[in-house]
Structures are given as structure tokens and as C-alpha cells.
């Protein structure tokens, strides 16, 4: 494992621990380091990326860093909306990357993601109308990126089962799983906001949100193999 990716995992562990134990100070130190570590790994990995793709990826990670800082306090709705806007920029960047690498939307892959998006949008409209529009708009960017990430054309050597590429030695085969984990993480953000009332439940849920988010980003940012 490359040193910067190992550093990323360490920062992610501290971030999750800080969330579960209510130590916000730990999150304020560790969480803003996550995406810069992945960005630095991208630059130093030794894998030659297309210059345009490199700029898109680094821009996406910069937007994610802004979102990470905003969501250190996940209970502030204004910060939640602003964070969602930052992550919408990131998801759009990922979509552009997958498209440039040959991914295209397929109805059989898009359908379940569209249903999940519609269900979340309906729940938000019923339970938190103030959040419904911005989070639903963000969900559209997430669903688009997730659909493209699981296109079999993105990883020709991977099996595709139920609309998901099964990870193998090709890093591109793991993008679909990363997008799925991102979807789980964001879905839990909605459920936590709407239904979690006890402090312990909120902390544990936030820990799971951050763990799945960190795993997603780790998978999504692995450089593709050299041609």
C-alpha cells in the first residue's frame, strides 16, 4: 500500500473515532486531511493520468474537501445544504471522468438508482421540506455518477451482477462499489437527519456514515491501470 493511502486510512480512522465518541476536535484535525491525502497520492502514484482527467479529479477532491469541512457539524441544516452543493460539484466531476473513460448510462443500471432517488426525494419532501430541493438535486448528481461507475464498459474484464461491477484486480472495477458505498453513506445522512433522536444513535450513525464515505472515496480515486 502506498504511504499516502495508508495515511488516508489513518486519518479516516481518527475521523470515525471522533464522530462515534463525540470528539469534534479530532474530526476538525483529521477530516480535512482526507481528500488532500488522496489528491497527493494521485499526483505521486506513478500512474500517468491524462492531464485533463488529473485536473478534473483534483478539482473534484477540492470540492469534496470543502464539503468535508462543512459537514463536521452534520446537525446544522445550512451547512448540510452547502456541503451537498460542494459534493454535487464532486459527483459531477466523477461523472465526467467515468464518461471520458467510456462509461455510458444503461437503463437496467439506472432504474434501481432512479427508484432510490425518487424514494429519498419523497421522504425528504414529507419530513424535511426545507432540505428537499437541494438534497434531491444533489441526489441526481450522485445517481448519475453511480450509474456511470457501474457500466460494464468502464471495466471490461469485470463481471456485472445486478447492475454492479464485481471488483477484481482492475481498479476501474471497484468504482461501482465505491459509488454504492457513497449512496449508502448519503442515504444514512438523510435517515439520521429525519429519524435519529438519541445522542448515542446519532453518534454511531455518523460513524457509519463517515466509514462508508471514506471507503467510497478510497475506491473511487484509485488511478486506472496503465494502457
Q: What mean pLDDT is predicted for residues 17-44?
A: 95
pLDDT at 202 over 80: yes
Is 128 contained in some domain? Answer: yes
Mean pLDDT of the chain: 94
Is 40 contained in some domain? Answer: yes
> What's phi and psi for 61, nearest 5 deg?
-70, -35
Report pLDDT digits (tens) over 105-143.
Answer: 999 999 999 999 999 999 999 999 999 999 999 999 999
pLDDT at 227 over 70: no
Is 227 contained in some domain? Answer: no
Is 189 contained in some domain? Answer: yes
Model-level pTM? 0.95
Q: Taken in order 37, 40, 44, 47, is the CA torsion positive or negative?
A: positive
d(CA 71, CA 79): 6
> What's phi and psi for 114, nearest 5 deg?
-65, -40
Is 226 contained in some domain? Answer: no
Identify the domain containing residue 9 by its residue range.
3-220
d(CA 127, CA 71): 20
Number of domains composing the chain? 1
Question: Which residues have a Cβ under 8 Å from the Cβ of 169 and sit 6 or more positions away?
Answer: none
Contact 203, 152 (CB under 8 A): no
Is 55 contained in some domain? Answer: yes
Q: What mean pLDDT is predicted for residues 33-39?
A: 97
What pLDDT, on the 0 to 100 scale, is given for residue 143?
96
Amino acid at each position: 500500500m502506498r504511504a499516502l493511502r495508508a495515511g488516508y486510512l489513518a486519518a479516516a480512522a481518527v475521523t470515525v473515532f471522533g464522530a462515534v465518541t463525540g470528539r469534534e476536535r479530532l474530526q476538525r484535525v483529521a477530516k480535512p486531511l482526507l481528500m488532500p491525502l488522496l489528491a497527493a497520492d494521485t499526483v505521486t502514484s506513478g500512474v500517468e493520468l491524462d492531464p485533463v482527467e488529473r485536473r478534473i479529479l483534483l478539482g473534484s477532491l477540492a470540492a469534496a474537501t470543502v464539503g468535508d469541512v462543512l459537514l463536521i457539524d452534520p446537525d446544522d441544516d445550512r451547512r448540510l445544504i452547502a456541503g451537498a452543493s460542494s459534493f454535487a460539484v464532486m459527483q459531477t466531476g466523477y461523472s465526467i471522468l467515468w464518461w471520458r473513460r467510456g462509461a455510458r448510462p444503461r437503463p437496467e443500471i439506472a432504474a434501481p438508482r432512479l427508484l432510490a432517488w425518487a424514494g429519498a426525494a419523497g421522504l425528504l419532501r414529507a419530513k424535511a421540506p426545507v432540505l428537499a430541493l437541494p438534497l434531491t438535486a444533489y441526489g441526481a448528481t450522485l445517481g448519475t455518477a453511480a450509474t456511470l461507475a457501474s457500466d460494464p464498459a468502464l471495466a471490461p474484464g469485470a463481471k456485472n451482477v445486478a447492475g454492479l461491477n464485481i471488483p477484481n484486480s482492475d481498479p476501474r472495477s471497484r468504482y461501482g462499489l465505491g459509488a454504492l458505498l457513497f449512496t449508502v453513506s448519503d442515504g444514512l445522512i438523510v435517515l439520521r437527519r429525519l429519524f435519529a433522536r438519541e445522542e448515542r444513535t446519532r453518534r454511531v450513525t455518523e460513524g457509519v456514515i463517515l466509514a462508508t464515505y471514506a471507503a467510497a472515496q478510497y475506491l473511487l480515486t484509485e488511478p486506472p491501470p496503465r494502457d
